[in-house]
Amino acid sequence: MTNTKNILIVGAGPAGIRAAKVLVENGLHPIVVDEAPASGGQIYRQQPPGFIRSSRDRYGFESDKADFLHSSFERLLDNIDYRPNTGVWSLEKNIAFTSGPEGINRIPFENLFLCTGGVDRVLPIPGWTLPGTYTLGGAQIALKAQGCLIGEQVVFMGSGPLLYLVAYQYAKVGARVSGVFDTAKLSDALPVLPGLLSGGVTLAKGIWYQNWLRLRGITLRRGIVPIKIEGDSAISGFLYRNSRGREKYQKCDSLAFSWGVKPECQLAELAGCKMVFDDMARQWLPETDEDCRSDIKGIYLAGDGASVMGADAAEFRGELAALTMLADSDSDQSSDNSRRSYLKQRLKRLAHFREALEHALPYPKGLMASLPNNTLICRCEGVTAGDIRLGQALRPQEINRAKAYTRVGMGRCQGRMCGIAAAEILADEKGVSLEEVGRLRGQAPIKPLNIGIAGAAAQDDPGRAASI
């Protein structure tokens, strides 16, 4: 099996699997690199060997899709070079540097599919680093992958499609859900009702989860403003302002929160893809055309790593990206134009729904501006909201300068978690738009790199190496 056309797919979630499937069906043998031990991505993450919860229990309404993707990928294994537990830490001049069980590898590529997925969009609030606090995605993975709950009295907070879904999944396995606290108001949804209705089944499922929770007497609150996660050495409760502006307290021993998902686009940035500010996402995203091409020849972007549209869109975009690559390559593969048109049509509808969803479940724009100064923003480096505001004394023009002065975003996560919040705080403090404060420039390694393992792969003149 040779990797003709040197195709590398990064990520074995819905987008990566679909892309690989199309390529194999067309006689190609891509390399598929994935950080996880098994395929499926975060959304269809598999349980470890020996765990026996049924697919229906783990994936609910989505179990058919999950089963289909997992079995599709199984069937590809003879025709792809699959490298699980392996991450790409740098991209340079058409070479991907990976780190995995076999140490460091260099993978030259001509065609690259970045299907890197998303991560919870977290905005810090006071107390968010107390033990017992998780992201909604994290809480879901604990349950989905290993049948674990994050606590015994769980509060779910934030907004986005995961909020009611995860609460439902927890309640369904018997967890005590102490309440679901949504920062979105019902009135946010009304103006975009037609767009929401275009979501069809997806919307219906969302409403169904809420009703299911309500029928079981679980507290559901909309239009809340989080004030603080309380506790000494662990969470004891959640303080918030209700929709009528009154301070309220909910006792709990754990809390999961986030506001939707943000793309993991560090590799696209390292590859040199053009990044553009997206008003709706309030983030910098790699530029893509409607066929999933980046602005760099041979680099295709699919799934939530390109822009967040959800798992179904990720499957469509993975397939579309692969078909586009086939059409772009000068081979004699006949590309399927009608299929591409169909996929683009479906994606257009999903984009419409996604846009409505962003309005209905809005990102809490003002939240960062009102954060108390002592709230920790950058966990790795111990930087508070006040540090970022005081960093103004040296007049940072943009977020990279604020990073230089205050260390925000300089730690292990390289700003993947705190970058958004830091940019919001800086923009507010300077009185400029989020776009104007820019984005943290991506630098390799995008995940921490072990010195011993990496050093062992050095291709140095042996004489010099010995003489040091």
Partner 1 sequence: MSIVETEIAIIGGGIVGLSTALHVARRGVPVVVLEKRQPGAAASGVNFGGVRRNGRSLEELPLAARALEIWKSLPVLVGNDCEYQETGHLKVARNEDDMEAMAAHANEQAAYDCGVEMISRNALRAKYPWFGDVAYGAAWCPTDGQANPRLLGPAFAEAARQAGAHVYEDQAVVSIEKDGETLLLQTEHGLELRASQVVNAAGAWAGLLAGLLREPVELWPMMPQMAVTEPVPYFIEPALGVVGGDVYLRQIPRGNIIFGGRSGSADLEEGFGHAISEETLCTLERVAMVIPDMANINVIRLWSGVEGCTTDHLPVISPSQTTPGVFHAFGFSGHGFCLGPGTGAVLSEILLDGETQTDIAAFDIGRFS
Count the neighbouring beta carbons within 10 Å of the beta carbon of residue 449: 16
Give the burial class of 172: count Cβ atoms within 10 A of its Cβ; 0-12 exposed, 13-18 middle, 19 or more buried: middle
**Which amino acid appears at position 386 of this protein?**
G
- Residue 332 or residue 461: which is nearer to partner 1 going by CB? 461
Distance of closest approach, residue 297 Cβ to partner 1, in angstroms: 19
Using the minimum distance from each CB to partner 1, give the nearer residue, 91 or 302: 91
- Minimum distance, C-beta of residue 200 to partner 1, in the bound complex (Å): 44
Give whichever of 352 and 401 is closer to partner 1, judged by the CB atom: 401
Nearer to partner 1, 77 or 394 (CB): 394
Contact 109, 7 (CB under 8 A): yes
d(CA 378, CA 360): 29
For partner 1, the closer CB: 247 or 460 = 460
Q: Smallest gap, in angstroms, from Cβ of residue 89 to partner 1?
A: 8
49 class by beta-carbon count within 10 Å (0-12 exposed, 13-18 middle, 19+ buried): exposed
Q: CA-to-CA distance for 333 and 413, rounded, in angstroms?
A: 42
Kindly state the smallest distance separating residue 453's Cβ from partner 1, in Å.
8
- 142 vs 454, which CB is nearer to partner 1? 454
Q: How far is the CB of 436 from partner 1 (least distance, A)?
A: 13
66/119 with CB nearer partner 1: 119
Q: Is 96 helix (H, G, I), strand (E, B) or coil?
A: strand
Q: For residues 4 and 108, what is the distance between their CA atoms, to the nearest angstrom?
A: 12
Residue 16 sits at the vertex; the CA angle it makes with 14 and 20, to the nearest 5 degrees, is 115
Nearest distance in Å: CB 454, partner 1:
5
Residue located via tokens 């291709």: 459
Query: Which one, 199 or 415, has the nearer CB to partner 1?
Result: 415
Report, in Å, the least distance between residue 228 CB and partner 1. 28
- State which residue, 93 or 246, has the beta carbon closest to partner 1: 93
Q: Which residues bind partner 1 (CB under 8 A)?
A: 90, 92, 95, 97, 104, 393-395, 397, 401, 404-405, 410-412, 414, 441, 443-445, 448-452, 454-460, 465, 467-468
Residue 87 CB, nearest approach to partner 1 (Å) = 12
Residue 101 or 452: the one with the smaller Cβ distance to partner 1 is 452
Closest approach, Cβ 331 to partner 1, in A, equals 30
Minimum gap (Å) between residue 413 Cβ and partner 1: 9
Which phi and psi angles does 221 have, rounded to 5°? -130, 135
**Token pair for 348:** 């257009």
Place of tokens 């205050």: 406
φ and ψ of 191, to 5 deg: -65, -20
Three-state SS for 345? helix
Which of 377, 383, 376, 375 is closest to 404 using CA atoms?
383
Nearer to partner 1, 90 or 169 (CB): 90
Q: What angle, rounded to 10 degrees, do the helices at 162-172 and 201-215 form?
A: 50
Distance of CA 447 to the CA centre of its chain: 15
> Which residue, among 139, 144, 141, has the nearest Cα to 58 in the 3D structure?
144
Three-state DSSP class for 6? Answer: coil
Q: How far apart are CA 302 and CA 279, in angstroms?
A: 20
Contacts of residue 115, defined as CB under 8 A and 6 or more positions apart, other chains included, come to 9, 10, 11, 12, 13, 15, 16, 19, 302, 303, 305, 314, 318
CB-based contacts of 399-407 (< 8 A; 24+ apart in sequence): 399/423, 399/426, 399/437, 399/438, 399/439, 399/440, 400/438, 400/440, 400/441, 402/426, 402/437, 403/440, 407/378, 407/381, 407/383
- As measured in angstroms, the least distance from the Cβ of 78 to partner 1 is 31
